[in-house]
Chain A
Amino acid sequence: MSEPIQPGRPQAQVETGSRMQRLFDLRYVIGALLGVYGVVLVIRGLLDGPEQLARASGISINLWTGIGLLVVAAIFLVWGLTRPLGIDVEENID
């Protein structure tokens, strides 16, 4: 119980704005994946016939889910475009 204390490596060694973040902005990844899913579901939804509708209790669920996904994708893409990385407002700590 009397070992010298070795705290975690000082964070000074970690450069600000990680390489991970500079490599790719997660907002674009989310926007792209959900966007592709959205487009596919909207097309599938427009082609849905009575059989698919009956399965989902009469809701055109593919179409609506696709639209929802496109909206979320658009939010992330617009966010990424209007607030690119690197100009984040500085925050005060302590």
Chain B
Amino acid sequence: MLRLNPGWLDYTLLALYFVVVLGIGVVARRAVGTSADFLLAGRSLPAWVTGLAFVAANLGATEIIGMAANGAEYGVATVHYYWIGAVPAMVFLGIVMMPFYYRSKVRSVPEFLRLRFGNYTHILNAAVFAIASVLIAGVNLYALAIVLNALLGWPEFLGIVVSAAVVLVYIGFGGLGSAIYGEVLQFFVILAGLIPLAIVAVRHVGGFSALADKVTASALGEGGLHAWQGTGIGSVTNPIGANWISIVLGLGFVLSFGYWTTNFAEIQRALSAKDRSASQRTPLIAAFPKILIPAVTIIPGLVALVAIPNFGNDASGGLEYNDAIPALIGQLLPEGVLGIALTGLFASFMAGVAANVSSLNTVVTYDLLQPYLAPGRSDRYYLNAGRVVTAVGVVIAIFTALLAADFNNIMTYLQSLFGIFNAPIFATFILGMFWKRTSGWGGFAGLLTGVLAGALVFVLAEAGVVDFGSGIATSFYQAGAAFLVDVVVTVVVSLATARPEPERLAGIVYGVPGADGVVPTLRQPKERVWYRKPVLLGGLALALTVVLNIVFA
């Protein structure tokens, strides 16, 4: 039922995309002369490019397919992953944190920890990030192979190797620059596939009001149409299965701020912007598409739920929630648009892998090789190292993907575990950026114990010792525990250890002047035109989010 039947035209459209992306990689190779060109894209891109790449790096196919699946399983409340779980954190990153990152001239997120807290925190964070990136790249490759297998009948191994080879060619040649250009292209192609799909899907069930009636009559019920109704404390009836406090604090604050403000695969896009103002606008520009994307993921999910018989009951032979978008593509799109949608899916899978690989090579080269393993070499050495790491990373990702094929559950656990690392790190960054007294040992102890606390909650929940009601609620509590422990331990240990040396703070902590005499504050860049003012852009994004939350409450 899932198998698509693409015609020659669809394959031509797909092939054309591959040619263009590989072409970008080959041409971009001529732009790469130094390791900074390769790993940082020369820090010269305009804000609209880095902004779209910022949102696209997160618009991997696992995200698209997964959010459509959530739409079918939880209904409209899935918007919390976007409007509560992303937009506020993106605005905060753009207005509050990006100035600190950009001014510190760090080349990666772990490098900021090195400047501020010293080597132990740095190595801990860089090593965990490198391992997580390569494993997640593998998981993405495997997910791609499954879809290729289901839709086109390609053997999984072939799918894994072909897509890995394409990623290797365009990142290996052009580095971050071609990864970012590829992401921007992918952004347009995936929308060119998903928007028609959503339109046809709504028409298929007879329009919006018919869709609403059918959802109310489905397993989701009335709650499936509301984001906030039924999330009262003690009386949770909304299908999302969490009350509003754990949604706002757990998802909205701890989980999402940890991810969006410290995940290097995202921050790297903003760091490659041409100036401070453009780097600040990167996540703010990204926020606008992010606000609207649920329309093309949740709607297909809901349509699949009501239009495909027995949907979501894989135990009794029905399709899984994850099949929502592939199944609708196969059922509703004719030759032509079908090819675009297929290309969009491929493109977003590869962009996800490319984002992981292009941040991996930077962290390994600049955060592990240059300071510790092979210091003091020529730039040529680090450029070549970046290329070698790219190749090795892709090969490891292939093996991870093959491993994932055999041990699917292990990979799920691993991903949850890496989620644990994201939650406490936001606390470490905020304390480091705004509290002068935070010491190197305080940062290290806080991060380590925060991770352990999150892991402990995860293990206790898995073992059934504690029960939070649903998997989503568990991850909220787990992130909350990690965050709180990090804050408390960082503060206590910092107060108990020596004040950090002034040069550790210069230019990177709020109110402490740097060597150039510039005092880091939250003063925003002066821009003449309104669409370049960060605070205005951020305010608009938040206002739009509030309005949409009220409309869909």
Interaction A to B: yes
Kindly state whether residue B320 has any CB partner on chain A within 8 Å: no
Kindly state whether residue A86 has any CB partner on chain B within 8 Å: no
Contact between chains at B188 and A36 (CB < 8 Å): no
Kindly state whether residue B28 has any CB partner on chain A within 8 Å: yes
Write out the residue numbers on chain B whose beta carbons fall within 8 Å of the beta carbon of A58. Answer: 203
Query: Which of B34-42, B80-88, B403-411, B451-459 lies on the face that meets chain A?
Result: B34-42
Min distance, Cβ A46 to any Cβ of chain B, angstroms: 11
Min distance, Cβ B49 to any Cβ of chain A, angstroms: 6
Query: Which of B16-24, B282-290, B467-475 lies on the face that meets chain A?
Result: B16-24
Kindly state whether residue B381 has any CB partner on chain A within 8 Å: no
Query: Which of B112-120, B161-169, B226-234, B418-426 lies on the face that meets chain A?
Result: B112-120
Question: What CA separation (Å) do A23 and B37 show in the bound complex?
Answer: 13
Min distance, Cβ B297 to any Cβ of chain A, angstroms: 18
Write out the residue numbers on chain A whose beta carbons fall within 8 Å of the beta carbon of B105. Answer: 7-11
Q: With CB as the reference atom, state the residue of chain B lying closest to A44.
A: B336
Q: Identify which of A15, A26, A41 gathers the most chain B CB atoms within 10 Å of its CB.
A: A26
User: Which of A8, A16, A59, A66 contacts B106, CB < 8 Å?
Assistant: A8
Write out the residue numbers on chain A whose beta carbons fall within 8 Å of the beta carbon of B337. Answer: 41, 56, 61-62, 65
User: Which of B27, B104, B196 contacts A65, CB < 8 Å?
Assistant: B196
Contact between chains at A21 and B36 (CB < 8 Å): no
User: Which of A16, A29, A88, A91 contacts B20, CB < 8 Å?
Assistant: A29
Contact between chains at B115 and A5 (CB < 8 Å): yes
Contact between chains at A61 and B33 (CB < 8 Å): no
Write out the residue numbers on chain A whose beta carbons fall within 8 Å of the beta carbon of B366. Answer: 8
Write out the residue numbers on chain A whose beta carbons fall within 8 Å of the beta carbon of B203. Answer: 56-59
User: Which of B111, B188, B336 contacts A34, CB < 8 Å?
Assistant: B188
Kindly state whether residue B158 has any CB partner on chain A within 8 Å: no
User: Which of B41, B200, B523, B532 contacts A91, CB < 8 Å?
Assistant: B532
Q: Render B274-303 as a binary contact track against A, CB cut-off 8 A, 1 for contact.
A: 111110000000000000000000000000
Write out the residue numbers on chain A whose beta carbons fall within 8 Å of the beta carbon of B174. Answer: 20
User: Which of A29, A41, A72, A93 contacts B336, CB < 8 Å?
Assistant: A41
Contact between chains at B119 and A94 (CB < 8 Å): no
Contact between chains at A3 and B119 (CB < 8 Å): yes
Write out the residue numbers on chain A whose beta carbons fall within 8 Å of the beta carbon of B185. Answer: 29-30, 33
Question: What CA separation (Å) do A46 and B199 show in the bound complex?
Answer: 19
Contact between chains at B42 and A1 (CB < 8 Å): no
Question: What CA separation (Å) do A76 and B16 show in the bound complex?
Answer: 19
Write out the residue numbers on chain B whose beta carbons fall within 8 Å of the beta carbon of A48. Answer: 334, 336
Q: With CB as the reference atom, state the residue of chain A lying closest to B176.
A: A20
Kindly state whether residue B192 has any CB partner on chain A within 8 Å: yes
Q: With CB as the reference atom, state the residue of chain A lying closest to B104.
A: A7
Kindly state whether residue B389 has any CB partner on chain A within 8 Å: no
Write out the residue numbers on chain B whose beta carbons fall within 8 Å of the beta carbon of A10. Answer: 105
Contact between chains at A40 and B9 (CB < 8 Å): yes
Contact between chains at A1 and B118 (CB < 8 Å): yes
User: Which of A20, A55, A64, A88 contacts B332, CB < 8 Å?
Assistant: A55
Kindly state whether residue B184 has any CB partner on chain A within 8 Å: yes
Min distance, Cβ B449 to any Cβ of chain A, angstroms: 18
Write out the residue numbers on chain B whose beta carbons fall within 8 Å of the beta carbon of A24. Answer: 24, 27
Q: Render B253-280 as a binary contact track against A, CB cut-off 8 A, 1 for contact.
A: 0000000000000000000001111100
Kindly state whether residue B31 has any CB partner on chain A within 8 Å: yes
Known: A7-B105, A18-B41, A52-B334. 15 other contacts (CB 8 A): A5-B503, A9-B105, A16-B44, A19-B31, A19-B42, A20-B174, A20-B177, A26-B181, A55-B331, A56-B203, A57-B204, A65-B195, A72-B188, A88-B46, A93-B525
Shortest beta-carbon contacts, A-B, top 3 = A18-B44, A18-B42, A52-B334
Q: Which residues of B contact A (CB under 8 A)?
A: 9, 12-13, 16-17, 20, 24, 27-28, 30-34, 36-37, 40-46, 49, 104-107, 111, 115, 118-120, 174, 177, 181, 184-185, 188-189, 192, 195-196, 199-200, 203-204, 274-278, 331-337, 340, 366, 371, 440-441, 503-504, 518, 523, 525-529, 532
Q: Which residues of A contact B (CB under 8 A)?
A: 1-3, 5-11, 13-24, 26, 29-30, 33-34, 36-37, 40-41, 44-45, 48, 51-52, 55-59, 61-62, 64-66, 68-69, 72, 88-89, 91-94
